[in-house]
Structure 1
Amino acid sequence: MLFDTHVHLNADQFEEDIDEVISRARVAGVEEMVVVGFDEKTINKAMELIEKYEFLYAAVGWHPVDAVDMKEEHLEWIAELSKHPKVVAIGEMGLDYHWDKSPKDVQKDVFRRQIRLAKKLQMPIIIHDRDAHHDIVDILKEENAQEIGGIMHCFGGDLAIAKECLEMNFHISFGGPVTFKNAKTPKEVAAQVPLDRLLIETDCPFLAPHPFRGKRNEPAHVQLVAEKLAEIKEVSYDELTEKTRENAKKLFSIN
């Protein structure tokens, strides 16, 4: 009984075989997935998918890489879409200092505006953090994001950052990188995250777990993430999957 909290089934990589990809996920035991939209095209596709499949939910937000493209009407549109009963979070949002399409000050402004919107809507947020751990934490604190909490998606920080995020009411989500043989820090962090604040994801089509590293990722592979986390946490696979699914449903207010 798996809940993949972060998929991009709305990506072009799945255009040819989405039904087969979803079918494989179901066979692997994936009960629910959140399709994350982060710009106009992917948000529209996410909304289409949640209408078609009863077990899919959506998150809608604006990606930091594309922060320069976000207009006020996009925020208003996101607010309107959030009224849909199957839109369960705002995001992904955050900071990305790896790519330089959007200046840091623009990224920060767009990030803050989305946090404020989510607080107004009383919805959890999904955080994208690439090479920006301390600035992310500072902004979450300054904007009192603990009021709504959310997910540190595909967490890549160290234990100190994880602890700060946990203190702010955030869940820590792990994807494929926790399965990599050289992934020392993610494994150390996963060992310390309380079971009731842990989530699993694929971020497919990206970041496929071992032994599929470098290939197209898909939701069925979340099983491998769960297996590795169960091993790290020294709990049974069933306990790990049951708890992470329960955590996701509670966070997203899914009955």
Structure 2
Amino acid sequence: MFVDSHCHLDRLEQSPDELRNTLAFARQRGVQHFLCVAVSVADYDAMAEAVADFDDVSVSCGVHPLHQEDACDYETLLDKAARPEVVAVGETGLDYFYSADTQQVQRQSFVDHIRVANALNKPLIIHTRDARDDTLNLLREHKAEHTAGVLHCFTESLEMAEAAMEMGFYISISGIVTFRSAEELREVVKAVPLERLLIETDSPWLAPVPHRGKQNQPGYVVEVAEFIAELKGITVEELAAATTENFYRLFSLADKAA
């Protein structure tokens, strides 16, 4: 059985009935749980309502680094993230690739998310791109190892992965690993220990081969798992079992929310 550890179900271009069919398709393929990740606190209530009827969907709460127009203060984030259905804080982090001009605002938001995660004892979901040193330094400075979390849709270096894992973080791999251009990432995936690995779709984006060009969906996490299993020289069943166990270990509230 698989878990899609990071998807944006509210961002799928689908009606409520189509979303039900999409999740049913994923379940038929062996996906047993879905973590629907917030990109905006302002949109959190609408996101949570969209998936409230699905017992196998958990939710997070946070502000994506590229959504700083929806930034909120520490107290607002703490209030929303403290809700019992919220199993993680984020996604948060730093993105200097697409938005270098908002670095200062991103860093303050990131620090607020780390503080909230520590206050609530909920794990962090981190987006990081072209900000390796600042991401790691802020995690260390603000004691993020107390709650740990995951570096999602990982595309950075093995050195960064190792530094994050030393702080107790997991590394989550999306369909990017199947892309022809992802040779360096594939070498990283080979080196990441199985006990620190998660899989995700990041749907509706980044559909894996052979679905590139289509809207991504949680059922396609199976292709991600199959590809990684082959890379690591293990069966897809072993990969599925390990990453599912890792998910519930990290997101310990997800079982209770299911």
Regarding TM over 0.5, the answer is: yes
Distance of 1:45 and 1:154 partners within structure 2: 24
Distance of 1:206 and 1:37 partners within structure 2: 14
- In the alignment, which residue of structure 2 is the partner of 1:78? 77
Q: Quote the offset at 1:82 in angstroms.
A: 3.1
Deviations 1:171-207 (A, max 9, x none): 0000000111231111111111111110000000001
The answer (yes or no) to whether the contact 1:173–1:199 under 8 Å persists in 2 is: yes
After alignment, is 233-242 or 197-206 more displaced?
233-242
The answer (yes or no) to whether the contact 2:170–2:196 under 8 Å persists in 1 is: yes
Deviations 1:3-38 (A, max 9, x none): 001010011523462122111111111100000112
The answer (yes or no) to whether the contact 1:49–1:56 under 8 Å persists in 2 is: no
The answer (yes or no) to whether the contact 2:78–2:116 under 8 Å persists in 1 is: yes
The answer (yes or no) to whether the contact 1:64–1:102 under 8 Å persists in 2 is: no
Distance of 1:208 and 1:9 partners within structure 2: 14
1:13–1:160 distance in 2 versus 1, CA, 3 Å: same
TM-score (norm 1): 0.93
The answer (yes or no) to whether the contact 1:5–1:201 under 8 Å persists in 2 is: yes
Secondary structure of 1:99's partner? coil
- Determine whether 1:14 maps to 2:14: yes
The answer (yes or no) to whether the contact 2:2–2:31 under 8 Å persists in 1 is: yes
After alignment, is 4-13 or 80-89 more displaced?
80-89
Q: Quote the offset at 1:104 in angstroms.
A: 0.5
Q: Which runs of 4+ in 1 moved over 4 A?
A: none
Q: Quote the offset at 1:114 in angstroms.
A: 0.9
The answer (yes or no) to whether the contact 1:154–1:201 under 8 Å persists in 2 is: yes
- In the alignment, which residue of structure 2 is the partner of 1:205? 204
1:39–1:65 distance in 2 versus 1, CA, 3 Å: same
Secondary structure of 2:185's partner? helix
The residue correspondences of 1:168-247 to structure 2 (distance < 5 A) are: 168-247=167-246
Distance of 1:186 and 1:87 partners within structure 2: 30
Amino acid at match of 1:87: V
TM-score (norm 2): 0.92
After alignment, is 94-103 or 127-136 more displaced?
94-103
The answer (yes or no) to whether the contact 2:65–2:92 under 8 Å persists in 1 is: yes
- In the alignment, which residue of structure 2 is the partner of 1:92? 91
Distance of 1:41 and 1:9 partners within structure 2: 16
Deviations 1:52-85 (A, max 9, x none): 100000011011112243132xx43432333443
Q: Quote the offset at 1:146 in angstroms.
A: 1.1
CA RMSD after TM alignment = 1.7
Secondary structure of 2:45's partner? helix
Secondary structure of 2:58's partner? strand
The answer (yes or no) to whether the contact 1:37–1:46 under 8 Å persists in 2 is: yes
Secondary structure of 1:95's partner? strand
- In the alignment, which residue of structure 2 is the partner of 1:69? 70
- Provide the aligned length of Structure 1 versus Structure 2: 253
- In the alignment, which residue of structure 2 is the partner of 1:43? 44
Distance of 1:225 and 1:41 partners within structure 2: 31
The answer (yes or no) to whether the contact 2:63–2:70 under 8 Å persists in 1 is: no
Percent sequence identity is 38
Distance of 1:48 and 1:101 partners within structure 2: 33
Distance of 2:194 and 2:51 partners within structure 1: 28
Consecutive unaligned residues in structure 2, runs of 5 or more: none
Distance of 2:49 and 2:113 partners within structure 1: 23
The answer (yes or no) to whether the contact 1:68–1:106 under 8 Å persists in 2 is: no
Deviations 1:141-197 (A, max 9, x none): 111111111000000101111111111110000000011123111111111111111
Distance of 1:166 and 1:246 partners within structure 2: 17
Distance of 1:145 and 1:98 partners within structure 2: 23
